[in-house]
Amino acid sequence: MEKATFAAGCFWGVESAFRKLNGVISTQVGYIGGKTENPTYEEVCTSTTGHAEAVEIIFDPEILSYDELLSVFWKIHNPTSLNRQGFDVGSQYRSAIFYHNTDQQKLAIDSMKKLDESAKYKRPIVTEIIAASQFWKAEDYHQQYHEKRG
């Protein structure tokens, strides 16, 4: 099993998109990339903790590749929108790939370069590609939010 962590706006929809994939063993939503220890949703929403809303994915690489996860990541959000996705505004909604090893880092950089060269977007891609740091699990009511509430 391997771990992948992505931020692409509100974590409810991001988690929902990845949970549907064959090869995803589990997901959890939470906060990553900030300076506050064990942040709460209310704190993260102030955009002062530095955290991004993210989904941590455990997947079976024999069934689902990291490249396939990256492909889904690029499709489910606008990577040219700085600190915003749709109506959600703030640094907690930024686009970011938090890599867990050098292979993931290389694949993420290569996929972003390929997307950028495709000229799909008129504006530059602003997605951060950074080493994964401490992931703080979000409150229980955020976990599998769309499955619980439709």
- CA dist 140 to 4, 41, 84, 122, 137, Å? 20, 11, 24, 39, 8
Catalytic residues: 10
Q: H or E segment at 29? A: strand 24-32
Helices (H), the chain: 11-19, 41-44, 66-75, 102-117, 145-149
